């Protein structure tokens, strides 16, 4: 009984640790190498997007979309537990897919060796029953043919010892590029009709951002309450109206750009001077800007921070308990900018600080200005 109790304690607390994103493997990045066809390998971990710091446990190489290249399915212990990586490299090149059906060797023919004669030499693959941690790759063996129209020969060495060979010489073109074959042990070769389909595109940066938020364009943004000016040391120096909540700043025919920031936010330090410079252009485009500090401690830092960054546009401070509720799991991330219409509905969300977010702000500063800046 006691052991069972310990086990559930461990399960509960370990899963809590993983949900928090902690790592068993010291945040080691996943690695992917691309063969350069006999002249070494290229590290494509970063460019492929596979270099996650998650603790990977199982990886499966399989052609999920039947387009002739291997895609990768990855299982991790924590974070994004399941990830599917679509291979976009070389999928217009020729390939030959071979499925094996054993008779004397067992249906799956594990241990069978398939060799393919091609213009570029002989390719060899072994039908394996498992690979990596609790994982099994595509049971269909996939050979790349490059630009060749067909392979020259195909040879299967079954676990039973039987060797079967198919030559291209008979002109039947069974082993032409793009074919999917099923070879039956001691029997014939069938051409399989496969249907290709499209794996979904990965999320773009806006979709990725929206997936971390509990609100979306079209929603009415919460009417976050503001701290009184006299609660903030030096607060009487803050620009802007002494409104009590966000919706009090909405004006007919105008949009409101709300920039959530805090004194501890390093990128905010870089972003806010940029917003300051764009303020007149926003205004000319019918956009009012308000900086909304979400500082809950050290309020004495707010006004000095604004002096340091040269910010003179209107700033408010909120202690509204709904701020964490804006984010999935309460995981606050700033800077975050939200463009609202005159009714308080979300028109656009801009997160983080990067060249891309800067471009989004530039676009808001130029939308209606026509002649530019
Ligand atoms: Ca594929
Ligand atoms: Ca592909």
Give 49 Cα–ligand 2 centroid separation in angstroms: 15
Q: Above 60 in pLDDT, residue 365? A: yes
As a whole number, mean pLDDT of residues 139-167 equals: 93
Q: Above 60 in pLDDT, residue 372? A: no
Q: CATH homologous superfamily for 205-366?
A: Glutaredoxin (3.40.30.10)
Name which residue leads in pLDDT, 128 or 1.
128
As a whole number, mean pLDDT of residues 310-318 equals: 95
What was the pLDDT predicted at 79?
57
Give 86 Cα–ligand 2 centroid separation in angstroms: 6
What was the pLDDT predicted at 139?
95
Q: How far apart are CA 185 and CA 114, in angstroms?
A: 12
What was the pLDDT predicted at 6?
55
What was the pLDDT predicted at 171?
59
Sign of CA dihedral 323, 326, 332, 335: negative
Tell me the pLDDT band of 322, cut-offs 50, 70 and 90: very high
What was the pLDDT predicted at 183?
96
State the ligand closest to the CA atom of 97: 1
What was the pLDDT predicted at 339?
98
Q: Above 60 in pLDDT, residue 371? A: no
Lowest mean pLDDT among 5-19, 85-99, 151-165, 283-297: 5-19
What percent of the chain clears pLDDT 70, i.e. is strictly above it?
92
Beta bridge partners of residue 43, listed in sequence order? 33
Give 205 Cα–ligand 2 centroid separation in angstroms: 21
As a whole number, mean pLDDT of residues 142-149 equals: 90
3-state secondary structure 297-341: CCHHHHHHHHHHHCCCCCEEECCCCCCHHHEHHHCCCCCEEEEEC
Give 124 Cα–ligand 2 centroid separation in angstroms: 22
SS3 67: coil
What was the pLDDT predicted at 167?
86
| Buried/exposed 38-67: b ≥16 CB within 10 Å, e otherwise | eeeeeeebeebebebbbbbbebbbbbbbeb
Give 181 Cα–ligand 2 centroid separation in angstroms: 20
What was the pLDDT predicted at 41?
96
Q: Above 80 in pLDDT, residue 102? A: yes
As a whole number, mean pLDDT of residues 68-78 equals: 87
CB count in 10 Å sphere of residue 115: 16
Tell me the pLDDT band of 66, cut-offs 50, 70 and 90: very high
Q: Above 90 in pLDDT, residue 146? A: no
State the ligand closest to the CA atom of 93: 2
Cα 141 to Cα 98, 200, 367: the distances in Å are: 5, 24, 53
What was the pLDDT predicted at 55?
81
State the ligand closest to the CA atom of 88: 2
State the ligand closest to the CA atom of 84: 1
Give 154 Cα–ligand 1 centroid separation in angstroms: 22
Lowest mean pLDDT among 176-180, 214-218, 305-309: 176-180
Give 66 Cα–ligand 1 centroid separation in angstroms: 5
SS3 251: coil
Tell me the pLDDT band of 200, cut-offs 50, 70 and 90: confident
Q: Above 80 in pLDDT, residue 9? A: no
Candidate ranges 50-54, 64-68, 88-92, 219-223; pick with highest mean pLDDT? 219-223
As a whole number, mean pLDDT of residues 73-96 equals: 82
pLDDT tens digit sequence for 105-133: 999 999 999 999 998 899 999 999 888 78
Residue intervals in the chain for CATH 3.40.30.10: 205-366
Give the predicted TM-score (pTM) of the model: 0.63
Give 144 Cα–ligand 1 centroid separation in angstroms: 12
Give 179 Cα–ligand 1 centroid separation in angstroms: 15
What was the pLDDT predicted at 205?
87
Tell me the pLDDT band of 172, cut-offs 50, 70 and 90: low
pLDDT tens digit sequence for 229-276: 888 898 887 877 778 999 999 999 999 999 999 999 999 999 999 999
What was the pLDDT predicted at 369?
44
Tokens representing 106 are 């067992």
Q: Above 60 in pLDDT, residue 170? A: no
Number of H helices and E strands in the chain, helices first, is 6, 18
């Amino acid at each position: 009984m006691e052991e069972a109790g310990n086990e559930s304690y461990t399960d509960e607390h370990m899963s809590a640790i993983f949900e928090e994103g902690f790592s068993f493997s010291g945040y080691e990045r996943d690695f992917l190498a691309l063969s350069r066809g006999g002249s070494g390998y290229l590290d494509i971990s970063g460019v492929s997007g596979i270099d996650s710091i998650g603790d990977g446990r199982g990886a499966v190489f399989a052609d999920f979309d039947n387009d002739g290249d291997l895609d990768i399915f990855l299982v991790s212990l924590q974070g994004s537990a399941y990830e599917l990586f679509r291979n976009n490299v070389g999928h217009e090149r020729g390939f030959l897919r071979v499925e094996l059906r054993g008779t004397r060797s067992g249906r799956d023919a594990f241990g069978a060796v398939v060799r393919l004669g091609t213009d570029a030499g002989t390719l060899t693959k072994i039908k394996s029953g498992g690979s990596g941690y609790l994982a099994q790759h595509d049971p269909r063996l996939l050979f790349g043919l490059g630009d060749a129209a067909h392979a020259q020969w195909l040879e299967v060495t079954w676990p039973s010892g039987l060797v079967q060979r198919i030559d291209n010489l008979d002109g039947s073109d069974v082993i032409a590029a793009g074919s999917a074959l099923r070879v039956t042990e001691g029997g014939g070769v069938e051409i399989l009709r496969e249907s290709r389909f499209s794996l979904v595109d990965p999320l773009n940066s806006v979709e990725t951002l929206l997936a971390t938020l509990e609100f979306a364009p079209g929603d009415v943004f919460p009417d976050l309450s503001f701290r009184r000016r006299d609660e903030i040391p030096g607060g009487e120096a803050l620009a802007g109206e002494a409104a009590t909540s966000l919706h009090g700043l909405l004006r007919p025919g105008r949009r409101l750009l709300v920039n959530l920031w805090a004194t501890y936010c390093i990128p905010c330090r870089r972003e806010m001077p940029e917003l300051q410079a764009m303020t007149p252009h926003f205004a000319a485009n019918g956009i009012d800007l308000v900086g909304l500090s979400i500082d809950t401690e050290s309020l004495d830092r707010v006004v000095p921070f604004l002096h340091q960054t040269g910010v003179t546009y209107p700033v408010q401070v909120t202690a509204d308990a709904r701020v964490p509720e804006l984010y999935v799991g309460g995981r606050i991330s700033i800077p975050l900018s939200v463009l609202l219409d005159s009714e308080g509905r979300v028109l656009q969300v801009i997160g983080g600080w990067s060249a891309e977010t800067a471009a989004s702000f530039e676009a808001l500063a130029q939308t209606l200005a026509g002649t530019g800046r």
